[in-house]
Structure 1
Amino acid sequence: MGDVTHLFRRLLGALERVAMILSGTALLIMGGIVTASVLGRQLFNAPIPDDLIMVGLLMVCVIALPLAFIESQSGHIAVTVTTDWLPVRARGLLRAFGALAMMVFFGSIGFMVSQKLPREIAQGTYYDGTLEIPTWPMKIVFAAGIALFVLRLAVSIAEGLRTCATGVAPAHDRPTAPDRSEQV
């Protein structure tokens, strides 16, 4: 069982890293499109057609793809003023509950988007503009990013329940002791 769990975690981590690389690449492409469009508009009076649509669509990659990685690092914004005082088991239960709530919320959004995909692909829907950019590619990216996030949330739920049962927090959730070597 431990080997399967280890393999699953490695695979999930690899997928999260690929999603982060794609997200970063999309951010660089967004910057390139904006820069080229501004230069084209100022120098040649010809901006890149549908530049705002392309930047908006690439924003989907920048937002949806890193969610799972951020969850794996416990990097989401959280207010823990009162929960830090609770016992480890209670914090594990709250972590599991929070991950479950996020899973229901984001999973529902991802499910609704993925349900529309076959119809949009079949109908060939596109954004109005010069380039007639199809709507479905970024919706697939969004659904994939949310699916990866939901998978990571399932792992977070399991970790939270394990913490609740055992009283031992995962390594990334343990508070670190202050480094006393820097004090004079």
Structure 2
Amino acid sequence: MAGKLDRFEKLINSLSTWLNWVAGVGLVTMLALIVADIIGAKLFKWPIPGGIEMVGFLGVVVATFAIAQTQFLHGHIEVEFVVTKLPKTAQKVISCLTYSLGMALFALLSWQSFEFGRTLQTSGEVSMTQEIPFYPLAYSMGFCCIVVFLVLLVQCIMTMIRAKK
């Protein structure tokens, strides 16, 4: 059991790391695009057509693709000043409850992102200037939410295993 869980944890970590790299590339691309747009607009009176909407798309990529790795590294804010005063068993129960609520939230977000993506794909919704379809972003958000769900699942199981020891 522990061997399979360790392999699954490594797989989820690798996937989270890869998604984080995509977010990093998106962030650097956003920076380059904004700088090029400003230089083009101020020096040459020629901004990048659709630059603002491309930055918006990249913002979605940066925000959603980085969540799983941040959760895997416990990088999100945790308010635990009350929980640390409780016995270890109660702390583990509260941790599992918190992970379970997070899993429910990200399962719901994933489902709704895929539903929204299907709606956008069916309607043919595209951006105004570059006519970039919106639905791939909604689908990618749904996928990233699944990965966060899996990270939370692994963390919940690991917390329960540590509670038994």
Tell me if both proteins adopt one fold, taking TM over 0.5 as the criterion: yes
Greater Rg, structure 1 or structure 2? 1
In the alignment, which residue of structure 2 is the partner of 1:72?
72
Could you tell me how far 1:18 is from its partner in structure 2? 0.3
> AA paired with 2:143?
A
How far off its partner does 1:133 sit?
1.3
Map 1:3-18 to 2 at 5 A: 3-18=3-18
Q: Tell me how far apart the structure 2 counterparts of residues 122 and 83 of structure 1 sit (CA, whole Å).
A: 47
Larger helix percent: 2
Instruction: Using structure 2 for the length normalisation, give the TM-score.
Output: 0.92
Report the TM-score when normalising by structure 1. 0.83
Measure the CA separation in 2 of the matches of 1:117 and 1:7: 31
Q: Deviations over 1:65-122 (max 9, x none)?
A: 1212111122210111111122222111111111111121222122111013234224
Which whole-Å CA distance do the structure 2 matches of 1:86 and 1:55 have between them? Answer: 45
Separation in structure 2 between the aligned mates of residue 148 and residue 100 of structure 1, nearest angstrom:
14
After superposition, the C-alpha distances for 1:4-45 in whole angstroms (9 at most, x for unaligned) are: 222211111110110110010000000011001001101111
Conserved? CA contact 1:96–1:159, under 8 Å: no
Contact residue 93 and residue 163 of structure 1 kept, 8 A: no
Displacement after TM superposition at 1:142 (Å): 1.1
Partner of 1:89: 89
2:63 corresponds to? 63
Equivalent pairs counted in the alignment come to 165
- Between the aligned partners of 1:40 and 1:91, the Cα distance in structure 2 is 55
Q: CA deviation at 1:136?
A: 1.3
State how far apart, in whole Å, the 2-side matches of 1:79 and 1:122 are: 42
Whole-angstrom distance in 2 between the partners of 1:9 and 1:109: 22
Q: Distance in 2 between matches of 1:73 and 1:97?
A: 19
Partner of residue 29, structure 1? 29
For residues 106 and 144 of structure 1, the distance between their equivalents in structure 2, rounded to whole angstroms, comes to 10
Structure 1 equivalent of residue 136 of structure 2: 137
- Hey, what does 2:53 align to over in structure 1? 53
User: What is the match of residue 154 of structure 2?
Assistant: 155
SS in 2 for 1:46: coil
Amino acid at match of 1:144: F
Percent identical: 23
